[in-house]
Every structure is written in C-alpha cells, then in structure tokens.
Amino acid sequence: DYHKLISENYYNVDKSLMIKDFLERKTTVTLITRPRRFGKTLNMSMMAEFFDITKNSKDIFKNIKIMQTEYASYINQYPTIFISFANAKGHKEQFILSIKTTLQDIYEKNEHVFSNMSKFEKSRYNRIVDALIHDNSLNTISESLDFLMKRMEKYYHQKVMVFIDEYDTPFVEAHTGGFYDEVRGGLAGLLHNSLKTPTSLKYAMFTGIQRVAKENIFSDLNNLDVYTVIDNDYSEYFGFSIE
C-alpha cells in the first residue's frame, strides 16, 4: 500500500513520474504485464492514491517528483476505482465469493454516489446489489462496474479512473481449478463492459502477469496499448532502479 509505505517512512524509490507518463500518453486503456515481484501492485496503489477524489494525498506526495511537474494539480481530482483480484483463488465457491466480495467492497466504499437516482437507476442498482449478495454464480456481475462508473461520473461531474491489479489471476485460477467455462462469461463481461462501452471512463490501467490470450476482453478495443517486459515504455517504473 503506497500510503502506508510513505506515511510510515519505509524505504521507497520514487517512480511517481509514471503518473506523468500515463497522462501524457492519453491512452484510454493501458495493459502492463510483468512477472511477479516487479512492483505492479505498489505502482497501481500509487496511481490510485494520487488521483482518488475522496482522498487528500498532498502530504503523501509533497516531496515526490510528480509534484514538481505541471501535473501536480491533478492530485485527488478524479473519481477512482482501484481493484485487486489477487485473492481470487481456491475452489469454485471460494473463488466466486472472493470476486463478489471485492465488488461488494467497492460498492460499499462508494455508497454515497447512489443517492438521487431515477426509478430506472434504482431498479438497476437493486438488481445488481441483489445479484452480488444472493447469486452464487458470476453470470450477473457484468454490468456492476459499468453502472458504478456512471453513478460516479454523475456524482462528481468527472470521468472515472480505473485501476485493476492482477486482472488475469481469476482466469488462471479458474483454468487451473477446472471451472473456467463456468465463470469466464461473467469475468470477461465485467472487464469488457468497463472498458469498451462506458462513456464514463477517463483512463484505465490493468496489470497482470500475462495477456489472457483465449479471451476477447481486449480483442475489439481500439483504445488499448499493451506493454510487456520486453518493451522500453514504462520499463523504468518496474523492477529495480539505480538510484
């Protein structure tokens, strides 16, 4: 957690210019793949901490390089969704519960954005929440992030930043566990709907170990850039640095 790292004075190499790079590229959806222990989660936590409109992060970033750039004014200016699927593991029931709990937590954190809804929005909200609580499958989760993003934009009058860490873990775990075909539709729909169709998205960044080749999550996106371990772009922000 980036906030804990800085506030409790742990040793840290400043890689905050990744934020500047991210903003200057203006890529709607960015996928970065790296092996384990390359700092993916920490960087995603840093990005979310910087942009999240519900936080006051100026003390956390006060001596950080990004604040010496023209993008210092972007701090805490965007509604932000930060999700990690790192815990999506175990047998099928445990796996589904983990995914549902992750989505429930992000809904609970942003409960305030669901005020003053139209009757159609209320109906959609109730359907999503009921499915998140009672449905024992992932078949009904595909619109949950999309709807949340729409409500966040209405509430804050700003488009949404989305950061999803270890996006590929659920697909790998489901394949390994032998229940891939049962959950793939819900997972793919959840991610695809939050990237392709919503007008509420500002920018999104996904990280994982690999690009999930069998899925069509990214296949029809014309707004996607992929950076692997063999690409120079973004390479200075991952792994070890000489300081």
Give which of 78, 26, 70 is closest to 50, Cα–Cα. 78
Q: pLDDT per residue over 143-170, tens digit each?
A: 999 999 999 999 999 999 999 999 989 9
Distance between CA atoms of 81 and 168, rounded to whole angstroms?
17
Q: pTM of the predicted model, to two decimals? A: 0.92
In this model, does residue 220 exceed pLDDT 80?
A: no
Evaluate if residue 77 carries a pLDDT over 80: yes
pLDDT at 45 over 90: yes
**pLDDT (0 to 100) of residue 243:** 59
Confidence of residue 72 (pLDDT cuts 50, 70, 90): very high
Residue with tokens 């390089």: 65
Q: How far apart are CA 222 and CA 206, in angstroms?
A: 16
**pLDDT bucket at 107, cuts 50 / 70 / 90:** very high
